[in-house]
Structure 1
């Protein structure tokens, strides 16, 4: 009897030893740092994050693992089911700005990380170190002072910091990585990194100056340094247990939204010359969506298979829906979904609203207000879609401003550093 073929040898790893630059959280030295930080009152972020610690699901999911931990730690209601009857954030839900298959292949940039944060109801303030023309740290003392001030604020309970850094600077294997910061020992000037690649490294303390220097190496995907994001719950977002479940989600990513936004802007500007009625404008925009996109820009969530048809049925009885030939369409639900998306496109928070021809604007506003008032749950769906579009737009504008070589950015701009941008900036990404 022939013997079985030998197994193909495979190189595998079970954890890595921490380099000397890092002090293991569970070591005697790490415990001493923890005790000092606790006495200082600089571990509030640790006690927020620790109950929600996760391991990233994929080698390139460090950004998703970091964000899902922070979202759950800050008590953000995802407004969608996780499993059974429970609403809870999972890494597989974070696909607003990039398809998960893309993230699994190359990770996320800092702007995409901030985009995801905004999409999911967080306030995101991005900080990246300034560089001089030679690519070296500029105004380093000023940047370090800002970093320490943000560490002080977050470690005492106001928000959380997500750090995007190069592992190489710490003497670790790998390169670009994201992890949350769990606290700060002010006396020793050490920061606690809660590494989400827990299969590789445990949590550890590093000097604040080293953490800052680890942000400086250029991310090859963007041509920019890395940095950190201060995250907190946006004050106007729902977060209670009674908040309604979101039934739809925008299916565009940052690049497809940039393209669609541009074509819609041109279409609205052109339509101003034709002075269309509200009904004519609505059907022109719906036709544009159907003809220019391979799939609908908005889709129902799998968990809303029973509730979404009720919402669409109610929408179909409004005067707004009567302006469209949805009833004669091969897929009436798709037309009504696109009509919901259209309400988000032309909501007060959208820049496209200002481009609506005056003749149609007043009538369109009246039709929209009536539908939002009559259809239960429609306002929440429109607000949710508008928020996602806003986050995608901020991501694109930031990449455009900073000349990143990815996504929807314009090529040809020089590298520059930013301090304290309230919109997404460059940096970060990579594998564990």
Structure 2
């Protein structure tokens, strides 16, 4: 008589008990801290974030989940469709600074998190504990005092905060993690962490000094301590459902943008003395960009019926008349490349400093004349300029810290960030 095969042992998890350092949000003590924070008027972050609480989609998506929660709480319009006619941030949309496949494997660093926030219309102020060779008590006290000041500010409604920290310091399993900060109980010096790995731990209160210490362990991917980011809406008003729908997106990530920026810099430097007019400059850049394996600016799938008519109108402008789009098997691709060049050479771009001084005024006049009656395409150029700026700032931040961020080197050099399991 045949016997059934033995079941293969499987290691699975559902929730973990909080360590003694953490006070569960729903416990009696957690509720007492909540009531105190409410009396102190330190719950504005909580009331902003709580309606948008999410669980991370992947073990390494804690940064994406934290940012999605914050973006949707601020009512930032993603300017792209989620499903049907609805525009709403989802974790799968946040691929500006690194491909999602890479994030799924390695997670995000603190500068990359700030880069993603800036790509999506937020101001992001990053603070990391600064360690001198002696690790002095005075320096630690100064860092904690600033941390308390920032906690007090966001808890009273001036922006919100995401924390990048080591779980090990809290006595939890795992290591690198991101979560939003929900509240600050000033009297008891406790901070509320709205953990996005809700399958693992609930939200919890921890002492402010412990939260600060959890940012001190070195992140192997950057060679620097972790830290926190204070986030605010970059514009005067949050996005709205009446905002124009974004038609294009930059397809570069921080590494491919660093490579392209380098090659374009060399190209502009080598042609600065041999480029007699704007047309020659455009054709030189267009040839370089057209040779890339992937277009750096592409149409969103949802723009299939809206973008072509706008590009048809753009094709009649003085600027477009200088490029041979009509001879291309894909005229719209050449016109998109031309819009991307406008973003590259925007006065806000570092590359604009490499444009021959004799051509700057002519180029700007042509751009203004061509986009004057096309406000939506001007918005596309401005959006691409912002994304490129965020990518560049991410690389400069990591390089200035001596981090092997992968901006200048081949992929795969980063140490993986600990997954949340």
For residues 49-128 of structure 1, the aligned pairs below 5 Å read: 49-128=49-128
Counterpart of 2:209 in structure 1 is 209
CA RMSD of aligned residues (A): 2.0
Determine if contact 1:45/1:160 at 8 Å carries over to the other structure. yes
Name the CA shift for 1:153/1:323 in 2 (closer, same or farther; >3 Å).
same
Report the equivalent of 2:198. Answer: 198
Describe how 1:9-408 pairs up with structure 2 within 5 A: 9-133=9-133, 139-235=139-235, 239-291=239-291, 293-408=292-407
Gap regions ≥5 residues in structure 1: 412-426
- Structure 2: give runs of 5+ residues left out of the alignment: none
Deviation at 1:76, TM superposition (A): 0.8
TM normalised by structure 1 equals 0.93
Tell me, in whole angstroms, the C-alpha distance in 2 between the residues paired with 1:136 and 1:406.
28
Q: Deviation of residue 137 (structure 1)? A: 7.3
Cα distance in structure 2, aligned partners of 1:378 and 1:2: 71
Structure 1 residues 313 and 43, CA gap change in structure 2 (3 angstroms) = same
CA shift, 1:407, in A, is 2.0
Give aligned pairs, total. Answer: 416
Match of 2:419 in 1: 431
Q: Which has the higher contact order (CA 8 A, sep 6+)?
A: 1
Q: Contact (CA 8 Å) 1:227, 1:428: kept in 2 or not?
A: no
CA distance in 1, matches of 2:138, 2:248: 45
Q: Could you tell me how far apart the structure 2 residues matched to 1:312 and 1:231 are?
A: 35
Tell me how far 1:55 sits from its aligned partner. 0.1
SS for the counterpart of 2:162 is: strand
1:133 Cα deviation after fit: 2.5
Aligned equivalents of 1:237, 1:290: Cα separation in 2: 37
The DSSP-based 3-state class of the residue aligned with 1:184 is: strand
- SS state at 2:273 partner: helix
Q: C-alpha offsets along residues 275-301 of structure 1, whole Å, 9 cap, x if unaligned? A: 32111110100001122x211001111
User: After superposition, what is the alpha-carbon deviation per residue over 1:279-329, rounded to whole angstroms, capped at 9, x for unaligned?
Assistant: 1110100001122x2110011111111111112111111121111111111
Report the equivalent of 1:415. none
Match of 1:418 in 2: none
* Partner Cα distance (1:283, 1:203) in 2: 56
Aligned partners of 1:37 and 1:236: how far apart in 2? 28
- Evaluate the alpha carbon distance shift between residue 129 and residue 123 of structure 1 in structure 2; reply closer, same or farther with a 3 A threshold: same
Deviations 1:217-270 (A, max 9, x none): 011111110010000111357613211011100011111111111221221122
Check 1:279–1:2 CA distance in 2 against 1; reply closer, same or farther (3 A cut). Answer: farther
* Alignment correspondent of 1:423: none
Deviation at residue 4 of structure 1 after TM alignment: 6.4
Which secondary structure state, in structure 2, belongs to the residue aligned with residue 152 of structure 1? helix
Match of 1:319, SS state, is coil
Distance of aligned partners of 1:178 and 1:27 in 2 relative to their CA distance in 1, 3 Å threshold? same
Q: Larger deviation: 48-57 or 331-340?
A: 331-340
Check 1:238–1:281 CA distance in 2 against 1; reply closer, same or farther (3 A cut). Answer: farther
Shift of 1:3: 6.8
CA contact (8 A) 1:121 1:237 kept: no
1:199 and 1:218 map into 2 onto residues whose CA distance is 26
Contact preservation (8 Å) 1:78, 1:120:
yes
